[in-house]
């Protein structure tokens, strides 16, 4: 390939890339859409509450045009994820099923087996914070406080929107740090 040809080719691809990014931008540019605030939904059934979705990326840095920042983003009240009672995520449900299997193994003292089940559950749905809680429990049983602490922190992050679980996570934290 001659240098001239190469330059032409590169220019051509560059143009395509620019056009493509232009198109993509028009299609998915989050800044191009107005902010829609998700209204806080009514509390869902416990089974459904477990499959809440995280705030999507749009919610994380969505364009804001109209309101003043202070009013738009009251930090403390609204950083907790807003539960979406939309259709339950099948993966989350399947993951919860495994969590339950793992929990039973853990109760029977079959820690290693339980951990393998929780790992599969995490792979299925990293959203499911209960797995992190139980993994922390399992590491506690195994006496590895460092791992227990790490998983507890993840559990904290994922279960903060669920008061019951958040309570369990924080008492677990006390247990880990107190030991």
Partner 1 sequence: MERKKKRINKKSAFKRVAVVAAAGLGIAAMLLAIYMWHLFTMIDNRFAARRWSLPSSVYSDAMLLYPGQALNTNLFFEKLRDLEYREVSGQPQRKGELRRSGAFWDVYLHDLVMPAKQREGFRVRISFQKNRIESIVRMDSLQQLPILELEPEPIMLLFGGNREQRQLVSIDQVPDTLKYAVLAAEDAGFYNHFGVDPLGILRALYKNIRYGEIRQGGSTLTQQLAKNYFLTPERTLRRKFKELFISLTLETMFDKNEILELYLNEIYLGQKGSISVCGVGEASVFYFAKPVEQLSLVEAATLAGLIKGPNRYSPYADPARCKERRNAVLQEMRRNGWITQDEQNDALTSPVKSAGYKTYGKKAPYFIDYLCEQLPELYSPEDLSSLGLSIYTTLDTQVQAAAESALEKGLARLEKSYPALKRKQADQQLQGAVIVMQPKTGYILAMDGGRDYAISQFNRITQAIRQPGSAFKPFVYLSALDRFSPSSLFSNEPKTYQINGKPWRPRNTHAPAEHGLRMRTALAKSDNLAAVDLAMKVGLKNIVDTAGTFGFSTPMSPQPSLALGAFEVIPLELARAYCTFAAEGVQPLCLSMKTVTDETGKFLEQRHMRIERIISPEKAYIMNSLLRSVVTEGTASSLALRGIDFPAAGKTGTTNDYRDAWFVGYTPDILALVWVGFDNGDSIHAEGAVAALPIWAELMRQLPQYASENWFRQPPDVISRVICAQSGALAVKGVCPEPIEEVFLSTNAPVDPCELHKAGILDRILKGIGYDR
Query: Which residues contribute to the site for partner 1 (CB under 8 A)?
Result: 1, 6, 9-10, 13-14, 17, 20-21, 23-25, 27-31, 35, 53-57, 60-69, 72-73, 75, 79-81, 89-91, 93-94, 97-98, 110, 112-113, 115-116, 119-120, 122-127, 147, 150-151, 153-154, 157-158, 160
Cβ nearer to partner 1, comparing 44 with 120: 120
Rg (CA), the chain: 23
Neighbours of 175 (CB within 10 A): 15
Cβ nearer to partner 1, comparing 27 with 42: 27
Rounded distance between C-alpha atoms, residue 136 and residue 134, angstroms: 5
Angstrom CA distances, 175 to 102, 140, 151, 153, 166, stand at: 21, 9, 13, 13, 14
Q: Minimum distance between the CB of residue 14 and partner 1, rounded to whole angstroms?
A: 6
Q: Minimum distance between the CB of residue 168 and partner 1, rounded to whole angstroms?
A: 18
Q: Minimum distance between the CB of residue 155 and partner 1, rounded to whole angstroms?
A: 11
Q: Minimum distance between the CB of residue 130 and partner 1, rounded to whole angstroms?
A: 14
From the number of C-beta atoms within 10 Å of its C-beta (0-12, 13-18, 19+), residue 153 rates as middle
């Amino acid at each position: 390939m001659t240098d001239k040809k190469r330059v032409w080719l590169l220019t051509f691809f560059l143009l395509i890339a620019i056009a493509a990014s232009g198109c993509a931008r028009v299609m998915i540019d989050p800044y191009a859409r107005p902010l829609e605030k998700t209204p806080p939904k009514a509390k869902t059934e416990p089974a459904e509450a477990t499959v809440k979705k995280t705030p999507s990326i749009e919610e994380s840095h969505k364009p804001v045009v109209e309101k003043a920042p202070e009013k738009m983003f009251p930090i403390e009240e609204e950083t907790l994820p807003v539960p979406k009672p939309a259709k339950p995520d099948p993966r989350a449900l399947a993951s919860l099923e495994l969590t339950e299997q793992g929990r039973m193994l853990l109760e029977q003292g079959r820690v290693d087996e339980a951990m393998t089940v929780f790992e599969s559950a995490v792979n299925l749905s990293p959203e499911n914070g209960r797995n992190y809680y139980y993994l922390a429990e399992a590491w506690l049983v195994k006496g590895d406080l460092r791992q227990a602490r790490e998983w507890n922190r993840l559990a904290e992050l994922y279960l903060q929107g669920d008061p019951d679980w958040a309570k369990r996570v924080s008492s677990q934290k006390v247990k880990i740090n107190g030991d």
